[in-house]
Structures are given as structure tokens and as C-alpha cells.
């Protein structure tokens, strides 16, 4: 097993899957790094008191995020063609779950303040990291070619997380505080 440290990044650069070296603050690195951060937050979210079916959905989401990180860490070349793309069915599944949860919690009539109980508050943290990831990927897409399904998936994921927060609050009878009365 090779060592985890290579010392090649000691100069502030990192290697993309294509072999090209870029600065660690490069927008591409920021984009896939934020996706990794989001996946880590979702991993923590799975440790909280949530329904098993939600935890299973979160594992599936993490697997898609892992694939997205790979896609974003490759700027070109043969590796990009070999990587698994985001499938339309993954986006459709999030939409289906959003619709199902919305049917149970009802339409949103007021802005909800993030917070409340631990589970709900942490879902909102995941949502805001998803929004930051989306901004970074969109910014990257303005400079380099990015598969649009990545942007759509991340956008839908933040909607899913917002709806999940409302759903969990309702299921657990947690009080939600609204921005305005």
C-alpha cells in the first residue's frame, strides 16, 4: 500500500485526474472540494436520529456526490469518458422524494428560519453547503465545459434537503420558526 502522503502538493498545487497540476485554490479544486465537504456533512447527518429510508437515500446521494467529485476533478482526456455521469433518474428520484415529502408537509407559506432540533438544523447546514457547491460548480461551468446534469443534480439536492428539513420537523413534531409572523 503506498503512503498517503506524496509531498507533491507541498508547493500548493494538486494533480487533476488528467495529470495536469493546478493551484489548490483553483476553482475546479474548490468545486470538487465543496462537493466532498457536502458529502462529509451528509455522512454526519446519517449518524443522527433519522428514518432508515432517509439514511438509505443519503447514502445513495453520497455515492452520486462521489461520482460528481470525480467528474469535476478531471478536466479532460480519456479518464473523463470513463467516469460515471449523473443519470437523469437520479435527478428524477430527488424530485419524486421532494414531491412525496411536500404532499405530507403541505405547501410552504412562510420562510423558515434554519434551526430547531439537531436533525433539522443539520439538514439546513447540508442545504447551505449544497448551495455553495452549486455556486462553485456554476462558476466553473462559465470557464470550462461541465456536464449540466451536475448543476441540475446539486440544485435539486438543495431543494431536497430543504424539504427534508421540513419533513423531519413535521414527523418529529419539532417547532419551526418562521422569519415573519
Give per-residue pLDDT as tens, 96-142.
999 999 999 988 877 887 887 999 999 999 999 999 999 999 999 99
- pTM tops 0.85, yes or no: yes
Residue 158 lies in domain: 13-171
Assess if residue 3 is contained within a domain: no
Residue 21, helix vs strand vs coil: strand
Assess if residue 74 is contained within a domain: yes
pLDDT tens by residue, 56-84: 999 999 999 999 999 999 887 677 777 88
User: What is the Cα–Cα distance from 101 to 93, expressed in whole angstroms?
Assistant: 12
Is residue 157 over pLDDT 70?
yes
Assess if residue 181 is contained within a domain: no
Joined together, the cell numbers standing for residue 123 give 439538514
Q: What long-range pairs does 144-150 form, CB within 8 A, spacing at least 24?
A: 144/28, 144/75, 146/72, 147/71, 147/85, 147/86, 149/85, 149/86, 149/87, 149/88, 149/91, 150/68, 150/71, 150/72, 150/86
CB crowding 95-128: b at 16 or more within 10 Å, else e = eebbeebeeebeeeeeebebebbebbebbbbbbe
Assess if residue 86 is contained within a domain: yes
* Total domains in the fold of the chain: 1
Assess if residue 8 is contained within a domain: no
Assess if residue 131 is contained within a domain: yes
Joined together, the cell numbers standing for residue 174 give 419539532
Assess if residue 129 is contained within a domain: yes
Assess if residue 27 is contained within a domain: yes
Query: Which residues are bridge partners to 152 per DSSP?
Result: none
Amino acid at each position: 500500500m503506498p503512503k498517503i502522503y506524496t509531498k507533491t502538493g507541498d508547493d500548493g498545487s494538486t494533480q487533476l485526474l488528467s495529470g495536469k497540476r493546478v493551484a489548490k485554490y483553483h476553482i475546479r479544486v474548490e468545486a470538487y472540494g465543496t462537493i466532498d465537504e457536502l458529502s462529509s456533512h451528509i455522512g454526519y447527518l446519517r449518524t443522527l436520529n433519522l428514518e432508515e429510508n432517509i439514511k438509505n437515500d443519503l447514502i445513495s446521494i453520497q455515492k452520486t456526490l462521489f461520482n460528481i467529485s470525480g467528474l469535476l476533478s478531471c478536466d479532460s482526456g480519456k479518464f473523463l469518458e470513463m467516469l460515471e455521469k449523473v443519470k437523469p433518474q437520479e435527478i428524477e428520484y430527488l424530485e419524486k422524494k421532494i414531491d412525496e415529502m411536500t404532499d405530507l408537509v403541505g405547501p410552504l407559506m412562510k420562510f423558515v428560519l434554519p434551526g430547531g432540533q439537531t436533525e433539522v438544523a443539520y439538514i439546513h447546514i447540508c442545504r447551505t453547503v449544497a448551495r455553495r457547491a452549486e455556486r462553485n460548480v456554476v462558476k466553473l461551468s462559465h470557464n470550462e465545459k461541465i456536464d449540466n446534469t451536475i448543476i441540475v443534480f446539486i440544485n435539486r439536492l438543495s431543494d431536497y434537503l430543504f424539504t427534508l428539513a421540513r419533513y423531519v420537523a413535521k414527523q418529529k413534531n419539532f417547532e419551526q420558526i418562521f422569519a415573519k409572523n
